[in-house]
Amino acid sequence: MANPSLLILPGDGIGPEVMAEVRRIIDWYGEKRGIVFDVEEGLVGGASYDAHGTPLTDETMARAQEVDAVLLGAVGGPKYDVLDFSVKPERGLLRLRKEMDLFSNLRPAQCFDALADFSSLKRDVVAGLDIMIVRELTSGVYFGEPRGIHMEGNERVGINTQRYTESEIARVARSAFELARKRGNKVCSMEKANVMESGILWRDVVTEIHEKEYSDVELSHMYADAGAMQLCRWPKQFDVIVTDNLFGDLLSDAAAMLTGSLGMLPSASLGLPMANGRPKALYEPVHGSAPDIAGQGKANPIACILSFAMALRYSFGQVDEADRLEKAVDATLAAGARTADLLGPEGGTPISTAEMGTAILGAL
């Protein structure tokens, strides 16, 4: 059987640095565990724009559709702020999500024990935290038409459209319920049904799917503003949260912060099964391209490494190996290894991106 294939798109800013550490982990799996991947690299975001005048070429898009999984670093940077909206770095990422139809974006917010004191929240609020945000990723206001800026009389008007179909809501709801069954068996769905009709449809469809197919799972509903508040107040009340593209963007970033550092959090974006049974999949850290520290070897590679662990788990059925890698990260942190983002006000000496990679390899 052919080796599983990976397309690596390091992207912009700290993307290439953190991805370099993932490459070392991938190599380790090939050498030590006999799990060999066919790896190819490509460009996305500003890096692709610089080379080809577009944030994603058709060739790279086609390869992303063919491989078993895509690993992405990060896109964007102030250098590209002046670009037209249609060629901004983010459009490359959004095109991948949309054309691969990656409707289910899994964003775990887990608090590593070694970092529980590092959060801006109190230890007892976050220690042992383990929630999963399932964000719809291919629809909503990110993609709805009409959109754009036009003139009305003598002033500009900016428009975007929040649009959800029943089937779009149903499929992401199902993926949340499936996940919940393997976890705490609880789903909280968030929208603004008190203000938005799209939120009413969201709530209705989630409720229907629940009644018909997942009545064994506990379901609750919360307005997204109350959700943002409850995430800050007592996040452990949640198990799985399912929400739309835009609310998911904000809520998952807030949840990420609870765990201490955005440099820790991975994500998986999953679509429909391919012919080989694996889901279409893209894995990326939740953090951005962090242009302020790019190229300085300061970035924390853990979010990107844990994204690869999610690939082992969700694309390649290597659950034990995913556990192994996550435990290695845990042990590395417990041993005191800290990149700059993981140092509190007390300070301490940070290690570099590559040193963190080396430490995790050591723990493996």
Distance separating alpha carbons of residues 276 and 33, to the nearest angstrom:
23
- Taking every pair of C-alpha atoms in the chain, what is the biggest distance, in angstroms? 67
Binding residues for NAD(+): 77-90, 288-300
To ligand IPM, the closest distance from the beta carbon of 89 in angstroms equals 8
Q: How far is CA 2 from the centre of its chain?
A: 28
Distance separating alpha carbons of residues 236 and 221, to the nearest angstrom:
16
CB nearer to a second copy: give 203 or 280: 203
Binding residues for substrate: 97, 107, 135, 225
Q: Are 193 and 202 in contact (CB under 8 A)?
A: yes
Binding residues for Mg(2+): 225, 249, 253
- The site that binds ligand IPM (CB under 6 A) totals a number of residues, namely 8
Q: Which of 50, 101, 249, 330 is catalytic?
A: 249
Residue 238 contact partner, candidates a second copy, ligand IPM, none, CB within 5 to 8 A by sort of partner: none
Residue type, 267: S
Distance separating alpha carbons of residues 279 and 269, to the nearest angstrom:
9
Residue 219 contact partner, candidates a second copy, ligand IPM, none, CB within 5 to 8 A by sort of partner: none
- DSSP state letters, 218-286: EEEEEEHHHHHHHHHH-GGG-SEEEE-HHHHHHHHHHHHHHTS-GGG-EEEEEEEE-TTSPEEEEEEES
Residue 69, classed as helix, strand or coil, is strand
Fill in the per-residue mask, 189 to 228: x = in contact with ligand IPM (CB under 6 A), - = not in contact. -----xx-----------------------------x---
Fill in the per-residue mask, 68 to 107: x = in contact with ligand IPM (CB under 6 A), - = not in contact. --------x-------------x--xx-------------
To a second copy, the closest distance from the beta carbon of 142 in angstroms equals 6
Catalytic: 142? yes
Among candidates 54, 45, 70, 27, which has minimal Cα distance to 315? Answer: 70
Among candidates 193, 270, 260, which has minimal Cα distance to 227? Answer: 193
Q: Which of 192, 244, 280, 341 is catalytic?
A: 192
Among candidates 300, 298, 321, 296, which has minimal Cα distance to 311? Answer: 321
Catalytic: 98? no
Catalytic: 32? no
CB nearer to a second copy: give 34 or 153: 153
Binding-site ranges for a second copy (CB under 8 A)? 76, 85, 88, 90, 94, 120-122, 124-125, 141-142, 144, 147-149, 152, 155-167, 192, 194-202, 205, 224-226, 228-234, 246-247, 249-254, 256-258, 262, 288, 345
Burial classification of residue 148, based on how many CB atoms lie within 10 Å of its CB (0-12 exposed, 13-18 middle, 19 or more buried): exposed
- Rg over alpha carbons for the chain, rounded to the nearest Å, is 20
Residue 14 makes contact with ligand IPM by CB under 6 A: no
Residue 231 contact partner, candidates ligand IPM, a second copy, none, CB within 5 to 8 A by sort of partner: a second copy
Q: Which of 50, 101, 130, 253 is catalytic?
A: 253
To a second copy, the closest distance from the beta carbon of 306 in angstroms equals 18
Catalytic: 225? yes
CB nearer to ligand IPM: give 90 or 99: 90
Phi-psi region of 339 (alpha: psi -120 to 50; beta: other; left: phi over 0): beta
Using CB under 6 A as the criterion, which residues of the chain lie in contact with ligand IPM when the complex forms? Answer: 76, 90, 93-94, 194-195, 225, 249
Hey, which residues are catalytic here? 142, 192, 225, 249, 253
